[in-house]
Structure 1
Amino acid sequence: MSISRPGRMPRRLAFACAATLTAVLTLSACAGSPDAAPSGSSSPVVEKDLAIAAVSGPNSLDPAQLVDGQQMFVWSSILDTLLAKENNTGELIPNAAESWEYNEDGTELTLKLREGMTFSSGDPVNADAVVTTMLRNKNTPGIVQVKYGAVSDVTAEDDLTVVVHFTHFDPQFLANLAQSTGAIGDPATIDDERTATDPVGSGPFTLDTTKTVPGSTYVLNKRDDYWNADAIPFKTFTVRVLQDPTASFNALQAGEINAGTVQTQLLGQLGDEYAIQPIEAQAVAYLDILDRGGEQWPCLGDQRVRQAINYAIDREGVLEGLFAGVGKVTEQVFSPFGQVYDEELNETYDYDPEKGAELVEEAGCAGESFQIPSTFLSTSLEPTFTQAFADIGLTLEWVPVPPQQAQSAHLSGDYPLSFQITGFNSDPADAASHYSTSGYSNPRGYTDPTIDALFETINTTVDFDAALPAYQELNAYAVDQAFEAPIVFVGGTWAARDGIVVIDDGRSVPTVRQFGVSE
């Protein structure tokens, strides 16, 4: 069986080149080949209709408000990103930008755009479009703005060359260009009202607004004039938002979708016509301790209480009982596919509620009660967490929050804790997200002298290999301080039918490129 792989382009050495540079070069030219170009299938593309289930649809399609994770299935089909991630490796590869290069100290990033790209309106995708989008992201309050915190300016050197200027090296920025940070908007319409619901994009699909029901079903039609159209074997791409795994499974069996994740206990009900792709780890599930400094909830500023919460959670029980054994227990948030992850750290907090109760008692916090948002992510785990907190002398009060308000509740400052399931990015991006003062998982901006010193090293060391010891120390310090309570790396099993196959093991990001066609 041969497979047509959408969006497949040549591999190139973006971060990998860092390991080969000498001290004299000091990473002044870690860049991709300017000759990078798509490699299409040697045989004609057999186009099919692809329909999948996703747990969430996009809150907005405005480039300044994009959310990563499974919302990417929709928006990345409409809005192309500057970079992409290769299936099964997560390596950064060219997309709208065919090459990139940092200067010596990482304060300038030069992006060379691919020639001949157009928006669905026919207007060219050029440096002006990228500059306009990036500066708008930087100046527009929203989800994406924080990722531009180190950006001082964005300029066009010529029609196909963009230079991003930084106040200091931002190690997470490059990898983020394969996600929301790198989406490109159309300058002619980006400020129009339609941008939030039906933007003009340069991606492989356009949104069929006549068949789309926001929040429920998104129907996308392929653009034949897309620059890499021959590598997209789907004439339509439908994303159905199905948060209930049983509903997703029923839709798969009924032929309403032809790809979706399936619970382990249901796999035996699928016949030989289904292609199965197991994924060991694609996200981390964790209790996020939001008030790490104890500003509003003093007990959470006590390391003993944070550690007690980690001791209280039966991770193996959660994995087997609530995630059907699909995944891997963890006490750290960094991806097991990355270089920062340390297996030994997973021996820090053996399940020991008695020890947790002792720590809470020592801290003088027995009987404390904490409110926490109750969202579609947490519903099935709430009784387990409530009991775990009770076992160590604490109380949880779950406050119902609608799905569309889950992220705003997390960021609001109104809650001391929240439950999150976050997909992996790169090690630098995950470090920033969880522990920097502008990180999504650290909305109160907590820091301390140790964190400051480690980020000072990280943010001034362009060579990732040279910065790796600082990342590893940050990971160990975060686990010891128990800034979060990581629980499991969430795995999953994709099942596909009708000649559709899943061609990624979870290391890429959720886009149509994860799917192919068997021939």
Structure 2
Amino acid sequence: MYSTRRTKRRGASALAATATALALALAGCGADSDTAPPDGDPSADRSLTIAVQSGPNSLDPAQLIDGQQTFVWSGVLDTLLARDPETGELIPNAAERWEYNEDGTLLTLTLRDGMTFSDGTPVDADAVVASMERTRETPGPVQSKYSQVTDVTAVDPSTVEVHFDSFDPTFLSNIALGAGAIGHPDTLDDERTATDPVGSGPFELDVANTVPDNTYVLKKREDYWNADAIPVSTFTVRVMPDPTAQLNALQAGEIDAGTVQQRMLGQLDESAFTLSQIEANVVFVLEILDRAGETWPALGDVRVRQALNYAIDREAFVEGLLGGLGSPTVQIFNPQGEVYDPALEELYEYDPERGRELVEEAGYVGESFEIPSTFLSTAFEPTISQAFSDVGLNLEWVSVPPQQVQSAHMSGDYGLSFQVAGFNSDPSDAFSHFVPGGFSNPQNHSDPTLDELFGVINTTVDYEDAIPTYREVNAYAVEQAFEVPIAFGGTTWAARDGITYSTVGGLPPTIRAFGFE
């Protein structure tokens, strides 16, 4: 779901670009950085610099974090599968074929021939097994993605078998992300792996010109198996968390493109840039954590949860707080996916009077709740507090430092949490929001209807066959108001000199999404 509009620069057409959810900025090294030589490799003399809000926490395959950090680590480490930036579908990458057995407890991956690490060592089944087994056994952000894996074995140099205790509907999409990253088997446990791994990806890290948490310089590997798909010879990732600094750099010609906040768009000379929008790559959501009402009984009452959904003026939220860049929603699923249902948007039209009636009927008028106040919520807190007040409830924001945002959400100390959730795949999002232990359900709420629906999903190996059940999960979750989705949020890009960025909202950002005039 994206839109573009074309502008002109020096009389030439600029190509439309789409945008990611994350703050980025593109830059060439000089005015002609995006101009290909007349003959030979079009990427040979082309450089590209992007800006992200934060640098990678680690380049160790067992410690990778998805999202904007993917730009760096996916340059150095290949993944087994990938996602098509135009459609979002899973596509071959290091694994050119994959197949499950009938009950989904055995996944066979067939690796492509001719892959090597940057030191020339073959990327073979033993290397993949070493990476996957180490990630499965190593505490970190990726380990949980292997929770149902019991064993990984190499059948022959090009065939890997992954064994499960039961079918995991999220596994394929996970190995297109950090869970599928391939590290060098002989150096995985070396100290250098966290900062300068021997990689399987399209670039090598230029350590001499890299400053951790500031600038990451990647040099293209000409021996990479898919080198023709890499449009630049040098890829630089700069850490620039300040959106004003990015805008200033864009206007000064120091970078070629970047994300621009809606309120800043008026400062741009639109004759010099192509402005592009991606309308939905995150969802702003008030998470109801204590859905069983164990500590806050009111939240266990569906009438109170529904009241909160009636209390939010989603249209005003989008226009007033998101600058019009986004759309109201009562769902957490990506509107570009297979599970999202436009008909559900008719529920919970703004009606605080109806919300107050439900709270009164449930007997919880005057009930008060504590909620973490974080860098994610600060700008939205007055609006959310007023919505609670409008239906007869009270909200107290408790300040939480940035380093404790996730732990506060998971702690069980709060019944509610405000989040800006990025999209993954529909299966992953379903499990994250509604299965016990998922990020949005850390207090392990269970429900007989959801249990039955996920029972069907967990025994349906073909995703296409499972889509109707995922839609039932979505409809039931909206009806029961297990969460208070508010709006889909988007991003605007400004790009110059024919650089384009094209992707589906919510997909992992990688170098392959960029194009050049």
TM-score by length of 1: 0.86
Q: Which moved more, 1:441-450 or 1:370-379?
A: 370-379
Shift of 1:402: 4.3
Counting only pairs closer than 5 Å after superposition, residues 387-406 of structure 1 correspond to structure 2 as 387-406=386-405
What CA distance in whole angstroms lies between the structure 2 residues aligned with 1:256 and 1:370?
47
After superposition, the Cα gap between the structure-2 partners of 1:483 and 1:336, relative to the gap in structure 1 and judged at 3 Å, is same
Contact 1:54/1:241 (8 A) holds in 2: yes
3-state SS of 1:453 partner: helix
Counting only pairs closer than 5 Å after superposition, residues 86-485 of structure 1 correspond to structure 2 as 86-268=84-266, 269-485=268-484
Shift of 1:404: 4.4
What CA distance in whole angstroms lies between the structure 1 residues aligned with 2:209 and 2:308?
46
What is the letter of the counterpart of residue 417 of structure 1?
L
What CA distance in whole angstroms lies between the structure 1 residues aligned with 2:425 and 2:95?
19
What CA distance in whole angstroms lies between the structure 2 residues aligned with 1:71 and 1:126?
26
Contact 1:53/1:259 (8 A) holds in 2: no
What is the letter of the counterpart of residue 295 of structure 1?
E
Share of identical aligned residues, percent? Answer: 65
What CA distance in whole angstroms lies between the structure 2 residues aligned with 1:408 and 1:448?
25
Q: Which moved more, 1:422-431 or 1:406-415?
A: 406-415
What CA distance in whole angstroms lies between the structure 1 residues aligned with 2:274 and 2:456?
46
Q: Which moved more, 1:506-515 or 1:354-363?
A: 354-363
3-state SS of 2:336 partner: coil
3-state SS of 1:77 partner: helix
After superposition, the Cα gap between the structure-2 partners of 1:356 and 1:83, relative to the gap in structure 1 and judged at 3 Å, is same
Q: Unpaired runs of 5+ in structure 1? A: 6-41
What CA distance in whole angstroms lies between the structure 2 residues aligned with 1:296 and 1:499?
55
3-state SS of 2:455 partner: helix
- Map Cα deviations across residues 477-512 of structure 1 (whole Å, 9 max, x no partner): 111111111111112222222442212243642111
Shift of 1:194: 3.4
- Map Cα deviations across residues 135-194 of structure 1 (whole Å, 9 max, x no partner): 222223332222222222111111121111112222221122211221122222222333
Contact 2:203/2:219 (8 A) holds in 1: yes
What CA distance in whole angstroms lies between the structure 2 residues aligned with 1:441 and 1:103?
31
After superposition, the Cα gap between the structure-2 partners of 1:154 and 1:231, relative to the gap in structure 1 and judged at 3 Å, is same
3-state SS of 2:249 partner: helix
What is the letter of the counterpart of residue 482 of structure 1?
A
3-state SS of 2:492 partner: strand
Contact 1:89/1:508 (8 A) holds in 2: no
Measured on the aligned residues, the alpha-carbon RMSD in Å equals 2.5
Shift of 1:370: 3.1
What is the letter of the counterpart of residue 423 of structure 2?
F
What CA distance in whole angstroms lies between the structure 2 residues aligned with 1:368 and 1:251?
49
3-state SS of 1:59 partner: coil
3-state SS of 2:233 partner: strand
Q: Unpaired runs of 5+ in structure 2? A: 1-12, 18-38
- Map Cα deviations across residues 101-138 of structure 1 (whole Å, 9 max, x no partner): 11122111111112222223333222122212222222
What CA distance in whole angstroms lies between the structure 1 residues aligned with 2:193 and 2:477?
39
3-state SS of 2:444 partner: coil
Q: Which moved more, 1:138-147 or 1:340-349?
A: 138-147
3-state SS of 2:204 partner: strand
What CA distance in whole angstroms lies between the structure 1 residues aligned with 2:353 and 2:143?
43
What CA distance in whole angstroms lies between the structure 2 residues aligned with 1:463 and 1:52?
38
Contact 1:278/1:505 (8 A) holds in 2: no
Partner residue in 1 for 2:41: 44
How many residue pairs were aligned? 482
What CA distance in whole angstroms lies between the structure 2 residues aligned with 1:121 and 1:263?
42
Partner residue in 1 for 2:67: 69
TM-score by length of 2: 0.86
Shift of 1:283: 2.0
Shift of 1:333: 0.9
3-state SS of 1:376 partner: coil
Contact 1:331/1:348 (8 A) holds in 2: yes
Contact 2:14/2:273 (8 A) holds in 1: no
After superposition, the Cα gap between the structure-2 partners of 1:397 and 1:245, relative to the gap in structure 1 and judged at 3 Å, is farther
After superposition, the Cα gap between the structure-2 partners of 1:394 and 1:492, relative to the gap in structure 1 and judged at 3 Å, is same
Shift of 1:210: 4.4
After superposition, the Cα gap between the structure-2 partners of 1:497 and 1:442, relative to the gap in structure 1 and judged at 3 Å, is same
